[in-house]
Structure 1
Amino acid sequence: MRILHVVNHTRRQNGNVHAAVDLACAQSELGHEVTLCSGGGDFEPLLRANRVAVETLPDLLAKGRLLQACRALRALAAARDADIVHAHMMRSAGLAWAATRFSHARLVTTVHNAFEKSAILMGVGDRVVAVSEAVGVGMRRRGIPAGRLRVVLNGTLGNARHRHEPPPKPLTLEYPAVLSVGGLHPRKGVLDLLAGFSQARRARPELHLYLVGGGPCAAEYRAAVAAADAGHVHFCGSHADPRPYMLGADVFVLASHADPAPLVIPEAREAGLAIIATRVDGVPELLEGGAAGVLVAPQAPAEIAAALLAVLADARSLADHRARSQINLRRLSVQRVAAETLAVYDEVLRPRARRARPSPIGRETVRNGQAPT
């Protein structure tokens, strides 16, 4: 099969990019002819090393050059004789839709950031892949027909980004070490985590919290650290590979208010951490419904504090929660993601699917005054 992936860029520290790169490499390993087109970025050498052809189109990122980007992408799809064009971001999806009209290539889109209102634009695909069941439910409610929507749960274990690297060395962190990895912005619930951690420290003053990530609210969050917690909350900045922190920590906490299917959960599980995470979007699916970690309500610092104290009650409790994180871990492999995604491609390439090409969002047939479901 000839597959053309399209992303805005291939820069590090972007979960959508990681998912697309992992998938492209896994599909190439299975013997498919895979190309990844972007505006450029960090992962191009890795892609080439994994026999993924790389095409850089600067117009994909350039403002005011949509027509040029569309023409270039259409020419590339024709030159590659692509069977499937797979878009992973909203700008690239719109360009890919225009580029694949009146061609034999079929368009597949993946909804990564379903919390964004503009994610409805991903519905232009002949098939729309949701990265969790929760995202699938949300997209159906927003008008994506169930007949075009498929769910492929995110997974990243065994990816090419890490497979050929030397094993990371764990950092030496203060025990007990609580870790969170993610952007420093409101959606990640950092203020809830800081408040919950502070409450937990009233009973366990020896706790330390490590925040790995950067973002626009870094200064605000530093200022929000309680005076009593000074020296126990560590802002570690952004790191291309957070695994040394994961291997050195004891408990991983994700306090997000919204998170479709964060790749950091499989990574934290693979590192053997005890997991505490909010019950939002696809997070429960990544934690086996709570069997592989402790689920708490979003925006509930008291629940975070209680969970931390329960997990760290004694050495046996921590060991038990670490062991829980390994339940059904293989399900989160990128090889499973690749196989399920290829099944979506096979489905959309069937002769019947070719004859019934769907219309873009906003032009669906309306029957009896009702939007299609």
Structure 2
Amino acid sequence: MRIALLTYSTRPRGGVVHTLALAEALSTRGHEVTVWTLARGGGFFRAVDEGVRLELVPFPDVPGEEVGPRILRSIALLRAAFRPDDYDVVHAQDCISANAVDRCIRTVHHLDRFTTPELAACHERAIVRPFAHITVSAAVAAELRAGWGLAPTVIPNGVDAARFAAAEPIPQRYPYVLAVGGIEPRKGSLDLLRAYALARRSRPDLRLVIAGGETLFDYRAYRAEWDRLALSLDVHPEVLGPVAHDELPRWVAGAAVFAFPSTKEGFGLAAMEALAAGVPVVVRDLPVLREVFGSAVLYGTDPPSLATALLRAADAPDEASRKSGRELAAAHTWSAAAALHEQFYRRILA
């Protein structure tokens, strides 16, 4: 099949990681796969297998541009460049790319609530306009059924478990809690800061490290609130910003505990990667994360319970849980995900 996978960025966000890994796995299965994206900041954050064709649409930065106009410009540029007649399957991975084409399959990774009018409209159109839907968990599928009357097919994420399992930990002079994804509302960053401050009372040697943070949105006000809270709590996290693709597994493998207090998720890929590295994981108690992780992680609902879980994970790592976590991550392969996508595409084409 001639397959176009569309995403909105070249930077290391979860949906972009998913798109590239799926493209490579489908290419390995003999399909002609092209990834279309807006070239935000240049090429992709990592090398892509030569069997996958890349179409990078230039997206120059406009200083001072607000989020709403940036969304509209993103859609317009991708729409103008895309060639739908070249493909048997057009598969969009996010609301921007789904708005840039007239007819597509859509993977809904998670559902958001936006207040910016352009974003809210983009989000709604990207759900109702596609003619077929995939989700990466049953919990998100249930949200689509309840809210829009849709019946999506569930195809779980794959995980590059071997890359994280083989990682050599970053040498550190102190144990640290690691969170990946930057500082933003959906990642529960303020709750993590409060939980860490509570945990630090018992473990003053424990540091907090934040990695990642490439995003389309403007979270400067939230980051300012986070900085004020850190100052008031007298804690001093280490904020790495975007981490090189080859370095991220080493930071994950070196963590005493991986924190994942997101308020919304579709699957939890970063947490699954931490399990692959054998690192104890603490997540927010969400239905989707209960579905995906079961007993392989520890749960919290608010800063005090998250702090308790962080301390338990850091003080007494459970070897049985680590083993089950590694096994869970290894069971989610991109090869299996690609095979299920192939079956889905063939049903649609038939």
Give the 3-state SS of the residue equivalent to 1:206 in structure 2.
coil
The answer for the alignment partner of 2:133 in structure 1 is 128
Cα distance in 1, alignment partners of residues 262 and 296 from structure 2: 18
Q: Does 1:274 align with 2:275?
A: no
Q: Does 1:339 align with 2:344?
A: no
2:242 corresponds to which of 238, 242, 256: 238
Q: Does 1:264 align with 2:270?
A: yes
Change (3 A) 1:179 1:44: closer
Q: Which moved more, 1:340-349 or 1:205-214?
A: 205-214
1:164-243 matched pairs, under 5 angstroms:
168-214=167-213, 216=220, 217-225=222-230, 229-230=234-235, 233-241=237-245, 242-243=248-249
Change (3 A) 1:68 1:195: closer
TM-superposed deviation, 1:3: 0.7
The answer for the alignment partner of 1:359 in structure 2 is none
Cα distance in 2, alignment partners of residues 302 and 67 from structure 1: 45
TM-superposed deviation, 1:187: 1.9
Q: Rg larger in 1 or in 2?
A: 1
Alignment root-mean-square deviation, CA: 2.8
Unaligned runs of 5+ in 1: 101-106, 351-373
TM-superposed deviation, 1:64: 5.6
Cα distance in 2, alignment partners of residues 152 and 65 from structure 1: 27
TM-score (norm 2): 0.82
The amino acid across from 2:206 in the alignment is L
TM-superposed deviation, 1:213: 3.0
TM-superposed deviation, 1:319: 3.5
CA offsets 1:18-48 (integer angstroms, 9 cap, x no match)? 111111111001111111222234229833x
CA offsets 1:257-295 (integer angstroms, 9 cap, x no match)? 1122232112111111001101225322331x2x21112
TM-score (norm 1): 0.77
1:1-373 matched pairs, under 5 angstroms:
1-9=1-9, 11-40=10-39, 41-43=42-44, 46-47=47-48, 49-58=49-58, 63=72, 70=79, 72-73=81-82, 76-78=83-85, 80=86, 82-96=87-101, 98=102, 100=103, 107-116=104-113, 118=120, 119-120=123-124, 121-146=126-151, 149-157=152-160, 168-214=167-213, 216=220, 217-225=222-230, 229-230=234-235, 233-241=237-245, 242-280=248-286, 282-287=288-293, 289=294, 291-297=295-301, 300-314=302-316, 317-350=317-350
Cα distance in 2, alignment partners of residues 155 and 213 from structure 1: 20
Count, aligned residues: 322
TM-superposed deviation, 1:244: 1.7
The amino acid across from 1:83 in the alignment is D
The answer for the alignment partner of 1:369 in structure 2 is none
Cα distance in 1, alignment partners of residues 233 and 27 from structure 2: 52
Q: What is the percent sequence identity of the aligned residues?
A: 29
Q: Is the 8 Å Cα contact of residues 6 and 88 (structure 1) preserved in structure 2?
A: yes
Cα distance in 2, alignment partners of residues 25 and 238 from structure 1: 23
Q: Which moved more, 1:325-334 or 1:254-263?
A: 325-334
Q: Is the 8 Å Cα contact of residues 43 and 56 (structure 2) preserved in structure 1?
A: no
Unaligned runs of 5+ in 2: 61-69, 115-119, 214-218
Cα distance in 2, alignment partners of residues 323 and 254 from structure 1: 19
Cα distance in 2, alignment partners of residues 45 and 192 from structure 1: 31
